[in-house]
């Protein structure tokens, strides 16, 4: 199975949301990384055939996906960034309703819903109304509805939003187990989630695909650009004002700064091993809305 993006482009008037993106996706987990406004959601909506491209196309094994119609939709699972739900439905009722919309036979649906509620840790509250759930619990229901039809192509937009660290670990393990021979594409601002489970990362900036590769391949791009410098608290404020500081750590009366710089920022600065978070800050740290 191969999902191909061929010169995929989307304009909104004079604004270019996605700019001639080319990529080939085979089974595995792909992390989509970029600042707010980079075009990630627009790209995902075109991948799901919800949004029509201005030009270019999405192909599954050489077939144009919009022309495939229901055949393609049956292979898809999608969690949008703004997941809607019916507050007076219980989680079980809601998932059974979505299973019916997806054409899953009722008997199979009941078994699948029970299985998924256990996987996402909501089996014991399946009969409670969704409006009584916490934000993280609601998000887990959203993840479950995307998995209902055991999709071959799973697209998740900000799936870990609202999840606490324990829930995020559960989600990462679930996706790692699920991927296998399937294509999983996820977008998140929580860089550590992508770093933990993505086979490959796609970097997007201002609608363009900057780069695609493994975490190890991409972090090489900032090799030699990550430094640790220990300074006084007074000096720390000055450094933060003039340099990209990824992290700071208090050490007795000093502060250790993790600085991103093409050149050695000062005498005493020590080179550090680069992480995906460093790469994110290096490319997107100065963009409005980046976080």
pLDDT at 287 over 80: no
Rounded Cα distance, 207 and 41, in Å: 10
Confidence bin at 48 (pLDDT 50/70/90)? very high
For 105-119, how does the pLDDT look when each residue is reduced to its tens digit (9 = 90+)?
999 999 999 999 999
Which among 160, 153, 171 has a CA at the least distance from the CA of 116?
Answer: 171
139 pLDDT more than 70:
yes
> Is pLDDT at 100 greater than 50 in this prediction?
yes
Q: What pLDDT band is residue 285 in, cutting at 50, 70 and 90?
A: confident
Write down the pTM of the prediction: 0.88
Residue 227 in contact with residue 258, Cβ under 8 Å?
A: yes
CATH architecture for residues 3-220: 3-Layer(aba) Sandwich (3.40)
pLDDT in tens, 259-278: 999 999 999 999 999 999 99
Q: How confident is the model at residue 290 (pLDDT cuts 50, 70, 90)?
A: very low
| Phi, then psi, of 50 in degrees rounded to 5 | -85, -35
> Does the structure show a pLDDT above 90 at 227?
yes
Please provide the DSSP assignment of 28-90 as one string: EEEEEE--TTSSHHHHHHHHTTSS--SEEEEEETTEEHHHHTHHHHTTEEEE-SS----TTSB
What is the reported pLDDT for 286? 58
Q: CA 266, 259, 198: angle at the middle one, nearest 5? A: 150
For residues 204 and 82, which has the higher predicted lDDT (pLDDT)?
A: 204
- Contact predicate 159/139, CB 8 Å: yes
Q: Which of 3-7, 220-224, 237-241, 253-257 has the highest mean pLDDT?
A: 3-7
Average pLDDT of the residues of the chain: 92
- Separation of alpha carbons 221 and 109, rounded Å: 46
DSSP 122: -
User: CA angle 44-112-138, nearest 5°?
Assistant: 55
Q: What is the arithmetic mean of pLDDT over 79-84? A: 88
CA 263 to chain centre: 31
Identify the pLDDT of residue 289.
Answer: 41
What is the phi/psi pair of residue 228, to 5°? -115, 130
Q: Is the pLDDT confidence value at 291 over 60?
A: no
Whether 7 shows a pLDDT value over 50: the answer reads: yes
Instruction: State the Cα–Cα distance between residues 141 and 133, nearest whole angstrom.
Output: 10
pLDDT digits (tens, 9 = 90+) for 13-46: 999 999 999 999 999 999 999 888 899 999 999 9
**What's the confidence (pLDDT) of residue 193?**
85
Q: Where are the domains of the chain?
A: 3-220, 224-273
State mean pLDDT over 47-59. Answer: 96
Instruction: Record the tokens describing residue 167, joined without a space.
Output: 């829930």
- What is the chain's Cα-based Rg? 21
Q: What angle is formed at CA 142 by the lines to CA 139 and CA 148, rounded to 5 degrees?
A: 145
Q: How confident is the model at residue 219 (pLDDT cuts 50, 70, 90)?
A: very high
């Amino acid at each position: 199975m191969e999902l191909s993006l061929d010169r995929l482009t989307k304009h909104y008037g004079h604004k270019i949301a996605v700019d001639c993106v080319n990529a080939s996706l085979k089974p595995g987990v792909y992390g989509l990384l970029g600042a707010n406004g980079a075009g990630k959601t627009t790209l995902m909506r075109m991948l799901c055939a919800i949004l029509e491209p201005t030009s270019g196309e999405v192909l599954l094994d050489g077939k144009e996906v919009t022309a495939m119609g229901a055949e393609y939709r049956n292979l898809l699972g999608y969690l949008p960034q703004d997941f809607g739900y019916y507050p007076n439905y219980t989680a079980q009722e809601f998932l059974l309703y979505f299973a019916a919309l997806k054409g899953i036979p009722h008997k199979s649906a009941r078994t699948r819903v029970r299985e998924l509620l256990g996987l996402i840790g909501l089996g014991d509250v399946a009969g409670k109304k969704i409006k009584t759930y916490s934000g993280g619990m609601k998000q887990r229901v959203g993840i479950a509805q995307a998995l209902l039809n055991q999709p071959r192509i799973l697209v998740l937009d900000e799936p870990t939003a609202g999840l606490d660290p324990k829930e995020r670990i559960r989600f990462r393990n679930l996706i790692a187990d699920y991927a296998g021979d399937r294509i999983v594409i996820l977008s998140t601002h929580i860089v550590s989630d992508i770093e933990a489970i993505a086979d490959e990362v796609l970097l997007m900036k201002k609608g363009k695909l900057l780069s695609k590769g493994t975490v190890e391949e991409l972090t090489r791009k900032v090799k030699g650009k990550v430094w640790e410098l220990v300074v006084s608290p007074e000096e720390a404020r000055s450094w933060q004002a003039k340099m990209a500081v990824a992290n700071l750590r208090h050490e007795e009366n000093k502060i250790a700064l993790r600085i991103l710089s093409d050149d050695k920022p000062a005498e005493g600065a020590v080179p550090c091993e680069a992480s995906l978070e460093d790469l994110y800050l290096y490319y997107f740290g100065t963009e409005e809305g980046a976080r």
